[in-house]
Amino acid sequence: MENFKIDVDADGIALITFDVPGRSMNTLTGKVMQEIPEWVERVKSDDAIKGAVLTSGKSSGFCAGADLGDMAAGMLTGGSLQDAFDAGWRLNGALRALETCGKPVAAAINGLALGGGLELTLACHYRVVGDSPKIQLGLPEIKVGLFPGGGGTQRLTRLIGVQAAMMAMTEGKSFRPNDAKGAGMVHEVVPVGTEIEAAKAWVKGGGKATQPWDDKGFKLPGGGPYHPAGIQNFLVGNAMLKKQTYGNYPAAMNLMKAVYEGVQLPMDAALRVETRYFIKTLMTPQAQGMIRSLFLSKQELDKGALRPADVPKSDPKKVTVLGAGMMGAGIAYVNAMAGIETILIDRDQDAADKGKAHVEELLKKRLSRGQLTQDKFDALLASVTATTDYDHIKGSDLVIEAVFENREIKADVTKRAEAQLEPGAIFGSNTSTLPITGLAEASVRPEDFIGIHFFSPVDKMMLVEIILGEKTGKAAIAKSLDYVMKIKKTPIVVNDGRGFYTSRCFGTYVAEGMAMLEEGISPILIDNIGRMTGMPRGPLEMHDDVALDLSVKIAKQTAEDLGDAYQPLPGSEIVRKMVEDLGRYGRKNGKGFYDYDQKPKVIWSGLADLAPVKVDDSTPEMVEDQKRRLLFRQAVEVARCWEEGVIDDPREADVGAILAWGFAPWTGGPITYIDQYGLKAFVEQADAYAAKYGDRFSPPQLLRDMAAKGETFYGKFSGQKAAA
């Protein structure tokens, strides 16, 4: 076998070491799934083997789950439904054979076990896990539009009950070792390095070779659908799923169906039910779009798919951050976590110290969770220097400017910082809206000037938008990407333009919400419709979150830059009055479209005077139309960005939209949404909205041309950047 090694010791215990060659992490590839029945059969039939221990040969983890690209290709080959079922059943059948082999099998979990990796251990009769904060156990498939398809829906439910299992699977929750033991997912937590020893001790001690659910007297924890308490899990759970997903995610509902039906059946039949629902889910456009964008494309971007190949690899050791506000401090924190020495500069020492205090606060959270030792905490905090002295910049590989969105202030700090930089170092602006080419005019080395746009909160948001100015050089692109990969974020690379890609397109969602408000649609309905599209928050909520006064500042700067060409956004006068006349700045001062001095927050009563409700029609048809309207407005702007050359890779467009501003993940991203809607139908609907609401919906010529030729974005443009 290529992926498993078997060593039988003097006690007759087979140590099965899972080690996929040429990979840093084990995954369940097609070849791995072919080999599992081979070693299971040997364990079962070899009289010299009394029991087995399954572990990983990788220092990085036990198993990260299924290789989704390989898996999807194997199950979606265009064959019959029976062919798809047979491919899907392969893992389930193998794991069922494992747990019924008649000999005790223990899992020595010496690293993270996620998705199919955890399902593999659940088919073992006993689970031992190392006591390390780096180890995570969980079934996160829901995050890519799927649910566990290797027996997880049935085994986890039978271990910990319907309610706990459904919460873990619908949230894609990961457990640390002791939490997993407390939940009932594993049996033992032992010191790191002793997992195999402990697992073998269980086997030698007469470990039972039967799963609990295969015992005649087994009862489902908490009860099943016909138990007085158990039925509540499904009645309440169904309502909660609808509230959380708004019906956008077939995986969530199919997961509940698989659990509901499966727990009423013997395990063999239950696993067949799971496989059928899994294949049904895999065939949905939602799952296919999410797998492509949130797994395959994201992986490619994370590994540097966009990096110029002819530039030597760099490794930034020292980075300076200008501006110690929440954004700058967040950047300093992720730098520290990546082992990068960081200079945090602000205009006065108090402001700089406040920024470092935020870094300390974030580190303390990790310390309290056991994710850092005290020594590591001290070292990470010491790697951040808070100062006002620009001389500390000397020796930096990169400077990131994160000061106010003001052209003059940015020009001043650019000149002061560049005076300290050595040749080869690069300067990155964290601006969210101001064109990089214009900001680079303050630089004496524009080829080393680039946009490096983070999102707030930096410690949680995974995207970084790299923006190219007209004179940005290839080396600056490569070094920026090396830096982003080192801090373990996902990069996209876009060309210059006001608002770039993410801020520009996100702004259309908020602006369309303002247009709906001007039209007289109830603010409560507007935000409910926004959430129903799959966006993380309603447009008015989001406007409050990003700050109304910031919108006013950006509008003024844009008007100043564009002159007569400037066109106010819908609702801009409402926002101006709220900020300048009424002091309502949004969530940050507790007063915006909502009042935040009570929980839950409530719509500000005075909004009715600024934007009276005129539209009473809230039929299901109207709601569906307005949901589509919000998605279309964003997607049309993405297409415009494409036509204007701001973005030119479907992977970046989709991954960037989902990670940056939360574009409805169930769609797979705006480009996938357009492709799956169909270019011709999309153009027709966009034209209808343009006739009703204005030219902002008018599709660009690019879309019209592609629609006429029957093209798709992924069909026409995939691989174009890589080939170039």
CA–CA distance, 653 with 492 (Å, rounded to integer): 8
Rounded to the nearest 10 degrees, how much is the dihedral formed by the CA atoms of 189, 194, 199, 201? Answer: -110
Contact criterion met (CB below 8 Å) for 628 and 685: yes
Where do the H-state alpha helices sit in 283-435?
285-290, 298-302, 326-337, 349-368, 374-382, 407-418
* Count of Cβ atoms closer than 10 Å to residue 618 Cβ: 15
Cα angle value 325/326/330 (rounded, 5°): 115
- The token pair that represents 333 in the structure block: 């924190």
Distance between first and last Cα of the chain: 39
Q: Where are the beta strands (DSSP E) in 104-234?
A: 105-109, 113-114, 126-130, 137-138, 174-175, 188-190
- The token pair that represents 191 in the structure block: 């010191």
Contact criterion met (CB below 8 Å) for 244 and 252: yes
* Count of Cβ atoms closer than 10 Å to residue 519 Cβ: 15
CA–CA distance, 127 with 121 (Å, rounded to integer): 7
What burial letters (b/e) apply to 335-352, b meaning 16+ CB within 10 Å?
A: bbbbebbbbbbbeeeebb
Where do the H-state alpha helices sit in 539-678?
539-546, 548-562, 572-576, 607-610, 620-643, 650-661, 670-677
* Count of Cβ atoms closer than 10 Å to residue 24 Cβ: 10
- The DSSP secondary-structure symbol of 568 reads P
Amino acid code (one letter) for 503:
S
Cα distances (Å, whole numbers) of residue 370 to 175, 178, 180, 186, 376: 13, 11, 15, 19, 11
Within 13 A of 281's CA, how many CA atoms are on the CB side? 29
- The token pair that represents 258 in the structure block: 């698989």
CA–CA distance, 544 with 622 (Å, rounded to integer): 25
CA–CA distance, 221 with 441 (Å, rounded to integer): 67
Contact criterion met (CB below 8 Å) for 295 and 144: yes
Q: Where are the beta strands (DSSP E) in 403-497?
A: 426-429, 449-453, 463-468, 490-495
- 465 in catalytic set: yes
**Who contacts 110 (Cβ-Cβ below 8 Å, separation ≥6)?**
55, 56, 62, 129, 130, 192, 195, 196
Backbone dihedral angles phi then psi of residue 576, each to the nearest 5 degrees: -60, -45
**Who contacts 670 (Cβ-Cβ below 8 Å, separation ≥6)?**
505, 631, 634, 635, 638, 653, 654, 657, 663
Within 13 A of 231's CA, how many CA atoms are on the CB side? 3
Nearest CA-CA partner of 163 in 111, 233, 98, 250: 233
**Who contacts 338 (Cβ-Cβ below 8 Å, separation ≥6)?**
486, 487, 488
Given the residues 141, 465, 512, 541, the one annotated as active site: 465
Backbone dihedral angles phi then psi of residue 417, each to the nearest 5 degrees: -75, -40
CA–CA distance, 236 with 184 (Å, rounded to integer): 23
Cα distances (Å, whole numbers) of residue 700 to 323, 609, 637: 39, 37, 9
- The token pair that represents 312 in the structure block: 């030597």
Catalytic positions, written as ranges: 465
